Amino acid sequence: MSIWSRIADALAALRQGETLGDVFDRLRTPPEQTAGFAIAVIALGAKMAKADGQVTRDEVAAFREVFHIPPAEERNAARIFDLARTDIAGYEGYAARIAKMFGDRKEPLSDLLEGLFHIAAADGEYHPAEEAFLHRVSEIFGLPERTFRALQARYAPGAPPDPYEVLGVSPDVSDEALRRAWRAQVRESHPDRMIARGVPEEAVKLATARLAAINHAYEEAMALRGRG
C-alpha cells in the first residue's frame, strides 16, 4: 500500500468522525508511520501558518520542496491542511500525539521539525510567533535544546549560521571530535537511513539541503581553525 493510499484511508476515517489526533494515535507501527509523518508535516505546517497569521506562496512552495505531492493527490493534501488550519484543537495537542506516535524514537521527530523550519524560513522571514511555535513543538517532542539551536542556526534568515551550532558542538572541541560530529551527521542524513526511521521517500529531499549545510559548516569550522 502506498503512502497516499494510507493517507486516503486516514481521510476516510476523518469523514467517519475521527479527529486528526485520533489518526495520529492509530499510525504507530512502522508501515503506517510514513503516512503519519506526512500528515504530521501537513497538519503542523498548517498550524504554524496560522501562528504568524498568513500563508504565503513561498511557504506553500517550501512545503512542496519538503514533500513531493503527486498532482493527483493534491486535493487530499489540501484537505488535511484545511482541516488542521480550521480545527479548534491547539497545535500542542497535535505535537503531543505525534510524539506519542513515534515513541522513544527522536530521529524522525527531529526530521519532522526540520521540515517545519524549512517551511517557516521559506519567505525569507522568521516571525517571532513561528520561533515560539517551533521551540514549543521541539519541547513537546522531547528533543534536546541543542537540536533546536542547530536547526535554528541553519534555517533562520539573517546572520550567517554559526558552523559549530550547525554541527551541534562547542567551539572548543578537538579537530577529531569535530570530524566525528560531522561524519555522524552525514551518516544520519543519508536517504536510506532517513527512510529506515520512518521518513517517507517523498520527503527525503530534506537530506540534500541538510548534507549541503553540514558539509559547509564543517569546511567553515576547519577554515576558522586554519585547517582549510
Tens-digit pLDDT profile for the chain (228 aa)?
567 777 778 778 777 878 877 888 877 776 677 888 888 888 888 888 777 666 555 555 666 667 677 777 777 777 777 777 777 678 898 899 899 888 888 998 999 999 899 888 877 777 888 899 999 999 999 999 989 998 998 888 776 788 999 998 999 999 999 999 999 999 998 888 888 887 877 677 778 888 988 999 999 999 998 875
Give CA angle at 181 (177, 185), nearest 5°: 170
Q: How long is the chain?
A: 228
Task: Give me the domain span that covers residue 46.
Answer: 3-224
pTM score, whole prediction: 0.80
Question: Count of domains in the chain?
Answer: 1
Residue 220 · residue 163 · CB < 8 Å: yes
Distances from the Cα of 4 to the Cα of 71, 104, 170, angstroms: 12, 26, 42
Residues 6+ apart with CB under 8 A from 223: none
Write out the three cell numbers for 137: 513543538
**What's CA 37's distance to the chain center, in Å?**
9
Distances from the Cα of 15 to the Cα of 5, 89, 95, 216, angstroms: 15, 17, 22, 46
Residues 6+ apart with CB under 8 A from 100: 24, 25, 28
Residue 96 · residue 139 · CB < 8 Å: no
Give the orientation angle of helix 30-51 with respect to helix 91-102, to 10 degrees: 160
Measured between its terminal Cα atoms, the distance across the chain in Å is: 48
Burial of 176 (0-12, 13-18, 19+ CB in 10 A): exposed
Identify the CA nearest to 67 among candidates 49, 82, 45: 45
